[in-house]
C-alpha cells in the first residue's frame, strides 16, 4: 500500500468514526438515563413508605406512592430532556424548563412530550418491595399490600 493511499484511507476512517461518535452523543440526549433505570430494584418493606405519600428513591430516580391499598412507582425523570422532577402539592414539576405533571404523571403543561411511565411493583421472596423500571404499567395499577 502506498503511503499516500494509507494516509487517505486513515483520514477517511477517522472522519467516519468521529462522525459516528458525534451522532451517538447527539442522539443520547433523546434517551436520557434509560440505561440506569432498567434494573429491578428492591426498595424495602412496605411499612417503610408512609401512607398517602410520594417517597423519592434518589438512587434510581423514581417516586414510590403508597396508599391504604397498595404501592405503585412512577418515574421521576422528565420526559422532555431528562431532568429530575420535584414533587409539588398536586403533582410533579420540572425545574429545568417548567413542565408540570399531575399526580397520575399526566402532562399538564409542556414542553414535556408525554406522560410519566409507571413501573411494575411486586414483592420479592424476602418480603421486600421490588420496582421494575423495565416493565411499564398503567397509572391505576398498584401492588396490593392489604
Ligand atoms: S427537562 Fe423537564 S421540561 Fe425540559
C-alpha cell at 99: 413542565
Does the CB atom of residue 77 touch ligand 1 within 6 A?
A: no
Each residue's pLDDT tens digit, 88-139: 999 999 999 999 999 999 999 989 999 999 999 999 999 899 999 999 999 8
C-alpha cell at 68: 391504604
Each residue's pLDDT tens digit, 32-61: 554 444 689 999 898 899 999 999 999 999
What DSSP designation does 90 have?
T
Among 83, 100, 109, 116, name the best residue to mutate to test ligand 1's pocket (greatest count of ligand atoms within 8 A of Cβ).
Answer: 83
Q: pTM of the full predicted structure?
A: 0.72
- The end-to-end CA distance of the chain, in Å, is 75
Backbone angles phi, psi at 62, to 5 degrees: -145, 165
SS3 of residue 118 by DSSP: strand
Rounded to 5 degrees, what angle do the CA atoms 26, 31, 34 make? 135
Amino acid at each position: 500500500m502506498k503511503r499516500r493511499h494509507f494516509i487517505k484511507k486513515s483520514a477517511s476512517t477517522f472522519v467516519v468514526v468521529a462522525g459516528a461518535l458525534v451522532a451517538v452523543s447527539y442522539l443520547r440526549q433523546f434517551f436520557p438515563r434509560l440505561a440506569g433505570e432498567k434494573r429491578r430494584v428492591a426498595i424495602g418493606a412496605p411499612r417503610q413508605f408512609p401512607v398517602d405519600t410520594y417517597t423519592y428513591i434518589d438512587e434510581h430516580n423514581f417516586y414510590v406512592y403508597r396508599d391504604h391499598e397498595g404501592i405503585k412507582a412512577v418515574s421521576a425523570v422528565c420526559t422532555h430532556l431528562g431532568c429530575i422532577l420535584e414533587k409539588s402539592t398536586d403533582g410533579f414539576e420540572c425545574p429545568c424548563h417548567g413542565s408540570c405533571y399531575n399526580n397520575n404523571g399526566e402532562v399538564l403543561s409542556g414542553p414535556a412530550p408525554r406522560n410519566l411511565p409507571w413501573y411494575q411493583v411486586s414483592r420479592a421472596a424476602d418480603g421486600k418491595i421490588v420496582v421494575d423500571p423495565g416493565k411499564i404499567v398503567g397509572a391505576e395499577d398498584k401492588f396490593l399490600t392489604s
